Chains A and B, each alone.
Chain A
């Protein structure tokens, strides 16, 4: 097993852990946290698989895409956090209403 494969598998582990966290938690700040870790997992898979070039330097295209992705993720997080604060100010709870469970 190569370094690329090891880190790609870690990325998948991160994705699955945060998928679990995303579903289990109802608190929106925890969901945003889980989404961020999920994104990191996906980035890790992308960059790890870009390293399968043997002795040559790794493929630069996925690296550039991940840098773009990191900046997009932080803007999405900022917007999501503002939405959450707005919801909490309106309803007093940082959770989505769950109508099927009452």
Chain B
């Protein structure tokens, strides 16, 4: 037992140092492409840290979104940026702007912030139950047996409602800024083509599994939606584009399915129960599964659309 604890401590210590080191390299690497790749590695290390902190739900979300999708977005933006600006421009600009004596001041400010925050953390009481007691006490009326899903969909359902709206607003922002969607590149190589064909059905199955299992174990709408989004990104990378007819209202319908389901459910429950998103315990499990299904589709499609970039043209807009 002693040796096991020691091993755990060594692992935590190394992981903590590794996180700081990779983050520092990602922040300071002179090569922008390398910085982005280091950031993706950082996301994977973060997923390990979440597992060590007994937060498997967060680990799943981090691995799929924090490392996977954010990394894909950054790499796509880097590729587009390289075609707009001349390479090498960046290094000159960075070194010309900041003088070395200013660097010391900025470092001093960052250190001061770290010391202040560290002092606050160390002065916190070592034991604090937070809201875990309330969550455990009300779990059986929530319709699901996994506490994180209960919080996300039931106890604080309005957070998730607003989050769905944030995703939609971000996409509307990206679309209204205009600019082309990522173009069709050359035909994908046989490896990428084959991988997409094998992985996409598998990813859809994994998403469905995560959605279902979220009721009683780590998983749920966000992780499932992120995996679905990853499948979409893979298809887009393999040069697959949906038929133009699907890009009009069918796409929009999928984008708003999640927020719309939430708003309708909130309004209905408000009329029946008198409180926003107050699920009747008997039907809660079923209602939450319906909400989560709509949310999964919307999150997946929105994330893939964010990767695509510009607003896809439908048939009507062409003519």
Residues of chain A whose beta carbon lies under 8 Å from any beta carbon of chain B: 2-10, 12-21, 23-27, 29-30, 32-34, 36-37, 40, 43-45, 47-54, 56-68, 70-79, 81-86, 88-89, 92-95, 98, 101
Q: How far is the CB of B104 from chain A (nearest CB, A)?
A: 11
Q: How far is the CB of B134 from chain A (nearest CB, A)?
A: 9
The CA-CA distance from A43 to B46 in the complex, in Å, is: 10
Residues of chain B whose beta carbon lies under 8 Å from any beta carbon of chain A: 8, 12-13, 16, 19-20, 23-24, 26-28, 32, 35-36, 39, 42-43, 46, 49-50, 52-55, 57-58, 61-62, 65-66, 69-70, 73-74, 77-78, 80-81, 84-85, 89-90, 93-94, 97-98, 103, 106-107, 109-111, 113-114, 117-118, 121-122, 124-132, 135, 147-148, 150-152, 155-156, 159-160, 163, 166-167, 169-171, 173-174, 177-179, 222, 226, 299, 302-303, 306-307, 309
Which B residues touch A76, using CB under 8 A? 170
The answer to whether A85 and B27 touch across the interface, beta carbons within 8 angstroms, is no
The answer to whether B81 and A60 touch across the interface, beta carbons within 8 angstroms, is no
Number of A-B contacts (CB under 8 A): 269
Which B residues touch A50, using CB under 8 A? 55, 130
The CA-CA distance from A93 to B152 in the complex, in Å, is: 41
The answer to whether A14 and B152 touch across the interface, beta carbons within 8 angstroms, is no
Q: How far is the CB of A5 from chain B (nearest CB, A)?
A: 7
Give the most central of B24, B27, B66, B125: most A CB within 10 Å. B27
Which DSSP category, helix, strand, loop or mixed, fits chain B's interface? helix
A-B contact pairs, 16 of them (CB 8 A): A6-B16, A7-B12, A9-B122, A23-B106, A23-B110, A27-B94, A40-B42, A49-B124, A56-B132, A60-B147, A61-B130, A71-B163, A75-B306, A76-B170, A85-B84, A88-B85
Which B residues touch A83, using CB under 8 A? 177
If the complex has contacts A12-B117, A93-B93, are A61 and B135 also in contact, measured as CB distance less than 8 A?
yes
The answer to whether B222 and A10 touch across the interface, beta carbons within 8 angstroms, is no
- B73 is contacted by which of A14, A67, A74 (Cβ under 8 Å)? A74
Q: How far is the CB of A44 from chain B (nearest CB, A)?
A: 7
The answer to whether B39 and A37 touch across the interface, beta carbons within 8 angstroms, is yes
If the complex has contacts A65-B159, A68-B152, are A84 and B53 also in contact, measured as CB distance less than 8 A?
no
Which B residues touch A54, using CB under 8 A? 127
The answer to whether A6 and B13 touch across the interface, beta carbons within 8 angstroms, is yes
Which A residues touch B73, using CB under 8 A? 74, 77-78, 81
The CA-CA distance from A43 to B55 in the complex, in Å, is: 11
The CA-CA distance from A7 to B114 in the complex, in Å, is: 14
Which A residues touch B109, using CB under 8 A? 19, 23
The answer to whether B42 and A37 touch across the interface, beta carbons within 8 angstroms, is yes
The CA-CA distance from A77 to B72 in the complex, in Å, is: 11
